[in-house]
Amino acid sequence: MAQYRTIQLPEYLCVRADAWLNGRFENLAELLNFLLEEIMSEDGAKLDQAEEDLVAQRLRDLGYL
């Protein structure tokens, strides 16, 4: 079972996000969960690309590419 944390956000930001939700997400927690998952997956892809670039550069340096 997932463990949860409590976070604090400015009220004005929560009000604006609630107004923006407008049926897109059930609540603010669901929106934040989605956004954090997206950010984490994008960072993982960037890291993988950076690793691929490093390997390709090393292969070029060795004369294989």
Crossing angle of helices 11-21 and 28-61, in 10° steps, is 90
Instruction: Kindly report, residue by residue over 4-24, the tens digit of the pLDDT.
Output: 999 899 999 999 988 888 888
Instruction: Kindly report, residue by residue over 8-65, the tens digit of the pLDDT.
Output: 999 999 999 888 888 888 888 998 899 888 888 876 677 678 778 887 887 788 776 6
3-class DSSP string for 1-28: CCCCCCCCCCHHHHHHHHHHHCCCCCCH
Supply the pLDDT for residue 11.
Answer: 94
The pTM for the full model equals 0.58
